[in-house]
Amino acid sequence: MKLGHIAAACLSLALGTSAFAQQPTVLKIGYATSKESHYGVGSTVFCEEIEKGTQGRYKCQHFANSALGGEREQIEAIQLGTQDLVNTSTGPVGNFVPEVKIVDIPFLFRDYDHARKVMDGPIGQDILTKFPSKGIIALAWTENGFRHMTNSKRDIVKPSDAAGLKMRTMENKVHMDGYRTFGILPTPMAFPELFGALQQGTVDGQENPIPVILSSKFSQVQKHLSLTGHVYSPALLLLSPKVWNKLSDADKKVFTEAAKKAAIAQRKKVNDDENNGIAQLEKDGMKVTRTVDGAAFREALKPAYVSYAKEFGADNIKKITDVK
């Protein structure tokens, strides 16, 4: 009898608690690739961390595989507040925040260490401060990875092999100007249309980091992979100001710390895919060209660097290349 009373009391307490507890705010997070991909891994860590750090007051609903549209559309939705979070490449971001464009210059970064050091250092962190005036909160630099070329026609060792190929690019003028010097015919297109365009032969090729080529199964529609590493593709975890402005200072800290952990996890997945993914793509039937004539690509790019220097300032470019 007594025990029954206690049990009943406990039950009513539990019910009472759940009835009065605040409903969690569910944030919509979107990204281009699968939940298992680098973007999914980083986003998952972010969401777990904010849920933990806010005692369950915030959690996420994931929209992987471009379910909320292309990256440009998702950034627009962040500005409008109809989407809460996006983990996106910088592809279209320079059209919103021009200060981002400088880090999209081909052959700017020597390797992953260099790129990550710049993004996490004063130069990268200063760029993040340019977002709020454009109606976007940039929580952290995550990562997409160094981009490599794939196509359905031939191996690419040097620019003359790439010349004449119709290649899908991101909606990014810095990339397009650079790639034209390789002789490529750049065709800007949103990512969700890309697989179909490759399948139908609307374009001959595309360029993306290994984690994207792997998770989007481009081996099914592209024969040749050349490890050109012609540009570093940074990524960002962006939040709508509509959410940010409602956060307490303590919650803001939770969100920024969570974004830093997300970046670490996402970069680790990029490393893993770089280390293991190329062999996998080969197994999946791709012909991989490992010895690319990087010097010839850099040489071809020289005229583009003249215009980059004009647009961004040669001294600003040097500040980045000087980071050791």
Residue 130 in contact with residue 211, Cβ under 8 Å?
no
- For ligand EAX, which is the closer residue by CB, 30 or 54? 30
Cβ at position 234, least distance to ligand EAX in Å: 10
Question: Is there a contact between 151 and 165 (Cβ–Cβ < 8 Å)?
Answer: yes
Q: Closest approach of Cβ 120 to ligand EAX, in Å?
A: 19
Supply the minimum distance, in Å, between the C-beta of residue 54 and ligand EAX: 27
Tokens of 59: 């959690």
And the tokens for 234?
């940074």
Query: Do β-strands 25-30 and 85-89 pair in parallel, antiparallel, or remain unpaired?
Result: parallel
| Cβ nearer to ligand EAX, comparing 145 with 159 | 145
Q: Are 219 and 281 in contact (CB under 8 A)?
A: yes
| CB nearer ligand EAX, residue 51 or residue 143 | 143
Toward ligand EAX, which CB reaches closer, 208 or 226? 208
Minimum Å distance from CB 194 to ligand EAX? 7
Nearer to ligand EAX by C-beta: 236 or 286? Answer: 236
Q: How far is the CB of 212 from ligand EAX (least distance, A)?
A: 5
Residue closer to ligand EAX (CB basis): 189 or 254: 189
Distance CA 306, CA 170 (A): 22
Q: Which amino acid would we find at residue 239?
A: L
Question: Three-class SS of residue 290?
Answer: coil
Which token pair is 204? Answer: 């001959």
Residue 119 CB, nearest approach to ligand EAX (Å): 15
- Which chain residues interact with ligand EAX by CB under 6 A? 32, 89, 91, 144, 170, 191, 208, 212, 233
Contacts by residues 286-290 (CB-CB < 8 Å, ≥ 24 positions apart): 286/150, 286/219, 286/222, 286/223, 286/224, 286/225, 287/155, 287/223, 287/224, 287/225, 288/225, 288/226, 288/227, 289/155, 289/156, 289/157, 289/224, 289/225, 289/226, 289/227, 290/227
Q: How far is the CB of 296 from ligand EAX (least distance, A)?
A: 24
Buried-exposed string 114-132: b where 16+ CB fall within 10 A, e elsewhere:
bbbebbeeebbeebbeebe
Q: CB-wise, 30 or 124, nearer to ligand EAX?
A: 30
Q: Which is nearer to ligand EAX, 112 or 252 (CB)?
A: 112
> How many whole angstroms separate alpha carbon 24 and alpha carbon 14?
17
> Residue 293 Cβ, how far from ligand EAX at the closest point, in Å?
24
Structural tokens at position 135: 């109606």
